[in-house]
Structure 1
Amino acid sequence: MALAIMDTNIRYGVVSKALHWGMALLFVWQFLSAGAHLLLSDTPVEEFLWGTHYTVGVLLLTLVVIRAVWSLLNASRRPPSVSVMAKLGHLALYGLMIAVPTIALIRQYGSGRALDVLGINLMSGFDGEEITWMTELGGLLHGELGWTLLALIVGHVVMAILHRKLTNHDVLSRMT
């Protein structure tokens, strides 16, 4: 059986699945790097993982924009949400997947430091004083919203498993 590229009303297509599971792996890596930064600071583990945090964050932001566009292109074909709560949960996930790295980029710009990702200069940096409101916004919200995103992701996984075990909505099979 050939793999369907586009989504259908029964299952997600290969592009949606690749974006979903690829991003899931990147989020595992991203939260491992944040956890190492928090719990294992000044260790080789933290140095290795944290060294990828900015790159993976920019990659995830890029992928979530691609995923949102792909989702809109497939909106009329996609499997329906099982409830209003599921729909709201997915909107919250998308919102945080965009907000968390965007806030980090705002903080990075405000700091005046350059940002290079995969050899591409995204921000050249500047001399002079940092832009306080930008750095304070990042300091106040990036980490807290990131951990909130992790909690939502865990809830997403738990609900997919519960739907499979307790209801007749096997939502997991639509994405596998």
Structure 2
Amino acid sequence: MTIADSPARYGALSRFFHWAIAALLVWQFGGICSEAILGEDHPLAARLSANHTQVGTILFVLIVCRVVWAILNRGRRPDHGPGLLGYAARLGHFSLYALMLAVPTAALLRAWGNERAFAPFGFPIFAPRSPDQVVQTATAIGSNFHGEMAWIMGVLILGHVAMAILHQVAWRDGTLKRMT
């Protein structure tokens, strides 16, 4: 098993990033969906979403590392194939990467501009601001786009999973095997 990617298969580090991020996104969406279905005050919803900031911070670090790793391995990665399906796969992956970066960036922008300190795991990242120092534009961008982009990303993830299943079950082309 190699660390780096190859044209035949994703390497161990790419697979680690993929599945670790997938598991943490399932946790994040589990909290969000439980709040939407059960209400924010429900004990299960509160438990699942209590660590949203900490999990989001870990996700952001993993996503940045994944993007850097993907760029470093760009010429070695498995090809998405020719034609319209290959183009759709490249566009889908690009969109997922863009949203995986944009969603936490919007949250970080909101955290930077608001009154509360941002200190995941007790490590101060942004100090609290006084009410007259709040950056309204930053908090508005974060508040207006973090959740909405996350839902769009969720739809794209469902499409990603559906295509992986289609590749495995209907087309039997080994696509899923390259990432497992």
| Range class of TM-score, shorter chain | over 0.9
Instruction: Tell me which residue corresponds to 1:23.
Output: 21
Q: Which runs of 5+ in 2 are unaligned?
A: none
Residue 70 of structure 1, CA deviation = 0.7
**Residue 86 (1) aligns with residue 89 (2):** yes
Partner of 1:49: 48
Residue number in structure 2 paired with 1:112? 115
Aligned to 1:154: 158
Single out whichever of 104-113 and 38-47 deviates more from structure 2. 38-47
Aligned pair 1:100/2:103, yes or no? Answer: yes
- Per-residue CA deviation, residues 56-103 of structure 1 (Å, 9 max, x unaligned), is 111111111100111111112111113011000000000000000100
**Residue range with higher mean Cα deviation, 122-131 or 9-18:** 122-131
Q: Work out the CA distance in 2 between the residues paired with 1:54 and 1:158.
A: 28
Cα distance in 2 for residues equivalent to 1:44 and 1:167: 43
Match of 1:34 among 24, 32, 35: 32
Aligned to 1:174: 178
* TM-score (ref. length: structure 1): 0.93
**Percent of residue pairs bearing the same amino acid type:** 40
C-alpha distance in 2, partners of 1:75/1:143? 30
Give the Cα–Cα distance (whole angstroms) in 1 for the partners of residues 34 and 126 of structure 2.
Answer: 26
User: Any conservation in 1 of the 2:106–2:146 contact (CA below 8 Å)?
Assistant: yes
Q: Greater CA deviation, 165-174 or 58-67? A: 165-174
Q: Distance in 1 between matches of 2:42 and 2:170?
A: 43
User: Contact 2:113 / 2:129 at 8 angstroms: preserved in 1?
Assistant: no
Structure 2 residue 7 is matched with structure 1 residue 9: yes
Structure 1, gaps ≥5 residues long: none
**Contact kept? 1:34, 1:53, Cα under 8 Å:** no
Q: Distance in 2 between matches of 1:63 and 1:42?
A: 30
Aligned residue-pair number: 174
